Structure 1
Amino acid sequence: MFMMGLLGRFKSYLKGHESVPGEAKLLQKIDTFILSFCCLCYFANYLDRSNLNNAYVSGMKEELDFKGNELNVINTVFTVGYIVGQLPSNLAVTYWRPHLFFPSMMVIWGALTMVTAAVHNPQGIMAIRFFLGLAESSTFVGTHYILGSWYTEKELGKRSGIFTASGLAGTMFGGFIQTGIQSSLDGARGLSGWRWLFIIDGLITIPIAIYGFLLFPDTPTTTKAPYLTSEERAMAIARIPESGAEKVPLNLKFAKRVFTTWYWYAFVMLWVIAGETESFSSNALLALYMKSHPTNSYTVAQLNNYPTGVPAVGIISTLFWATITDFMGGKRYLVGYFIAITGIITSALILTQFHDTAVVFGAYYWAGAVYACQATFFAWCNDAMRYQNDRFRSVVIASMNMGSNAVNAWWILLFYSADFAPRFTKGMWAMIGCCIALAIWTTGIIFMSVREERRSEVHDTRIRDIETKQVDTIREV
């Protein structure tokens, strides 16, 4: 009976609920237009981001005469641009209409991706990737800000998971696309297959941007989407805490508020640590391991196709944990412990079983499961800050990703440089250290969240007592 009841609750959760008339229809509409655009945008974002590694193992390294760790330096330059753009981008979304801002950034990065096809040396790619990072910085944190503006705690995790999975799908399909281009367009019009990859990836962004210009609904308080009725717009606003919708000026008082509350420190450090647990996957270590394998030689198709299993595992893990933590009432912290265990075990396997290629492949695939932290940790931040000001929330979300990438900019050079392949011994030990730190920090945030909830309960009780006394006094008079 217990299992039947649990299954019934889970089916009900997947179908969604309607607490007020018309809410289900509103959710259907915003899912259709917000999630479709954000997921397509993030898919293209990751497609353009991962194509450098795909191109590197598909002939670009030899044609442009890459030396040493130049690939890592290019990735670091991209990361620097990405870091610089984080905070300005997320603050821009609170000032400018998102349906204009997001697509405009998309057009810029699509154009820069196509320009990459014309480069003749690694230095040219470095310059382009810096500005590419600036333009792409708007997508990830901006979308999490938008999702937190439209969805409630019971709805947010699943939507964040779908969004994150779309980026992983971009990484996964990037390998297949490169394989197809390599076999069909390599040499066409005198261009190498890897050059065609940049051209085609850039062209993919244009229709998605046009779709965003026309149909993205902005935020509940600013939307003028033609497919939302006036009643639905009012309902969307009513679903948002009033304290969050207030717009505050950017001044010294605001900065003091950001840096004197625990939210900024707790969630920025959480993502700094968790971001580095994604290093195996985000730095394409499996592809570099294959490229530098001590005994085996892999074809271009294998170098592009085999690593796609990593984001595939990430998609499954992301959707599972995002859905299950929603169903369990927002227990996002469970993912912190899962990732810590996963990272320690996979690193230990690669360190101790390096002679066994099958075990190493399995460990790298399993390590893709840590991608689950993207959706759940940003949903955790949105949940914890639901009653905080929107602009404050946007700064914390942007700072999370900015802090993570600031560390990753030098972390990859220190632990995952391309010339460390195929063993990455220092990187394996770094991963173990990060996972232990993640488990400890997750426990700390749980403590702070519980303490904050108790303070809020005490405050609410005092307010109710004061109001009751005032009412009693008035009645006596």
Structure 2
Amino acid sequence: MAVTAKSAWRSVRHFVWGEEPATRAEKVLLLKIDWFILSYCCLMYFTNYLDRSNVSNAYVSGMKEELHMVGNEFNKINTLFTCGYIVGMIPNNLMLQVVSPRIWLPTMQIVWGVLTFCSSAVTNVQQLYAIRFLQGLSESSTFVGTHYILGAWYKPGELGKRSGIFTSSGLIGTLFSGVLQAAVYQNLNGTSGRSGWRWLFIIDGVITLPIAFYGFLVFPDVPTTTRAFYLTEEERLLSADRLDSDKGRDVSHVKPSWNLLRRVLSKWRWYACSLLFLVSGETESFGSNNLMGQWLKAIGGYTVEQIDYYPSGMTAFAIVSTLVCATWTDATRSRARWPVLVYMSISVIIASICILVWSSPTGLKFFAYYLAGASYAGQATTFAWANQICADDDQERGIVLASMNMWNNVINAWWPLVFYPATDAPRFTKGMWAMIGTALATLLVTALVYYLERREKRQARRRADREEVEEADEKVDEKKERVYEGSFQQ
């Protein structure tokens, strides 16, 4: 009975947290890097998404009226943020290979924290345009930078879960933003002559800065350069050795070389992985444009607090979907990531159809918006998949991860203006049809990436088999030569 219980516990542990480390030393190391890497990255991403979501929540909580916003000016705010995000994406990820990540990531967080304080003092929408562009530049360091760091520390069987936890921390920021805005509106609106939405930005900045200073203190860089105070010399060596033991894994961390562009563009990985997130990332438009909040505000009958609170159900379902899917992909022997994208695509197709049928009951529309939270499950899985595909080239991995998010944001810069303009609320008919098309395209590109990855693995196995045969032939030839030489000497 005890053996059965122990076996069951190991099975549960493997499903929930991945492969058990081979040695006690590796187990201690994994606990340390889980605590310090994930604690900082998750807190950093939490404040990142808190800042992004606060603009949407501020818009439906008084900012629109106070800044006299009309037409699609809300969409333009998001577009300018996205433009800054695009411009900063690849430079930020390259800087992580030039400047210590322990310095660069917290510094960028301080920059956007200060800009968040500035958002509380704007007097017109044009000032907010400029601030959001600069925030996009600084915040673009966070998402792909963290996925680059996670890929440098974790094995394939550990990566999906950690990527899921990281992504969920951003969603928790979104969830918390709605709750925070409602609380601020109830308790601080009008205090010291400031509107509730202005206090929201101030509180956001107050939360952000201490977390940045925590990053300066504890973030460990990457295994080959880490000097973290909590890692012993043996643990520093083990952190690189345990990844280097993976066949074909590159854990080097060197400055970008001139042949990097040629090396990246001569393979299928950059093209296919970029296309995958370019398409699949747009399924997140339900949440990123706060369509449910705009719908509730447009149809009327809901208080400001309800408009802030109710969309949190979508975020809650997004968190659950992300964690369950990330756990499942790590637990499978094949580390297959593609089923998550299938689940995500089917969910948003169903949600879009429910919203398109305008005569459907309000309860069904609530269900549809909440189901759309499944769209976020693909984010962590897609980047874990790219980390896995590019594990044999550290520099290529950094470029591919940055390009995936960059190209998605290139589309996202104009996508909401065309398909989800604020003037289309509450129906968003064009947007729902666009969502169905995006989901179908995601299924096609997922199949393409799956095929290319399998083909590359087959080619690698054939090369390995040929090399093994050639090595065996060389040994036979050497043996024959020794025998011949011995016979000649006799």
Q: TM-score, normalised by structure 2?
A: 0.94
Letter in 2 for 1:271: F
Q: Distance in 1 between matches of 2:221 and 2:256?
A: 21
SS of structure 1 residue aligned to 2:243: coil
User: 373, 376, 398: which is aligned to 1:394?
Assistant: 398
SS of structure 1 residue aligned to 2:169: helix
Q: Which aligned pairs between 1:425-436 and structure 2 lie closer than 5 A?
A: 425-436=429-440
| C-alpha RMSD of the superposition | 1.6
User: 282, 287, 294: which is aligned to 1:288?
Assistant: 294
For 2:108, the equivalent position in structure 1 comes to: 105
SS of structure 2 residue aligned to 1:245: coil
Q: Distance in 1 between matches of 2:332 and 2:220?
A: 30
For 1:418, the equivalent position in structure 2 comes to: 422
CA contact (8 A) 2:390 2:397 kept: yes
CA contact (8 A) 2:97 2:254 kept: no
- The answer to whether structure 1 residue 369 and structure 2 residue 374 are counterparts is yes
CA contact (8 A) 2:354 2:360 kept: no
Q: Which aligned pairs between 1:50-65 and structure 2 lie closer than 5 A?
A: 50-65=53-68
User: 237, 260, 272: which is aligned to 1:254?
Assistant: 260
For 1:270, the equivalent position in structure 2 comes to: 276
Q: CA offsets, 1:231-282, max 9 Å, x none?
A: 1111111123475234566455321111121100111000011111111111
Q: Distance in 2 between matches of 1:349 and 1:312?
A: 20
For 1:225, the equivalent position in structure 2 comes to: 228
> How many equivalent pairs are there?
472
Rg larger for? 2
For 1:333, the equivalent position in structure 2 comes to: 338
Q: Distance in 2 between matches of 1:356 and 1:7?
A: 45
Q: Distance in 1 between matches of 2:151 and 2:35?
A: 16
Q: Which aligned pairs between 1:155-304 and structure 2 lie closer than 5 A?
A: 155-241=158-244, 244-246=250-252, 250=256, 253-293=259-299, 296-304=300-308
CA contact (8 A) 1:85 1:137 kept: yes
Aligned pair in 2 of structure 1 residues 33, 250: CA closer, same or farther (>3 Å)? closer
Letter in 1 for 2:433: W
- The answer to whether structure 1 residue 313 and structure 2 residue 303 are counterparts is no
Seq. identity, %: 50
CA contact (8 A) 1:158 1:322 kept: yes
SS of structure 1 residue aligned to 2:120: helix
Q: CA offsets, 1:382-418, max 9 Å, x none?
A: 111111x211100000000000000011000000010
Q: Distance in 1 between matches of 2:50 and 2:138?
A: 14
Q: TM-score, normalised by structure 1?
A: 0.96
Greater alpha carbon shift after TM alignment, 175-184 vs 153-162: 175-184
CA contact (8 A) 2:224 2:252 kept: no
- The answer to whether structure 1 residue 17 and structure 2 residue 35 are counterparts is no
CA contact (8 A) 2:278 2:408 kept: yes
CA contact (8 A) 1:277 1:343 kept: yes
- Offset at residue 435 of structure 1 (A): 0.8
Greater alpha carbon shift after TM alignment, 329-338 vs 404-413: 329-338
Q: Distance in 2 between matches of 1:239 and 1:310?
A: 39
Q: Distance in 2 between matches of 1:138 and 1:393?
A: 15
Letter in 2 for 1:185: L
Aligned pair in 2 of structure 1 residues 354, 200: CA closer, same or farther (>3 Å)? farther
What runs of 5+ residues in structure 1 fail to find an aligned partner? none
- Offset at residue 349 of structure 1 (A): 0.7
Q: Distance in 1 between matches of 2:258 and 2:13?
A: 48
CA contact (8 A) 2:97 2:255 kept: no
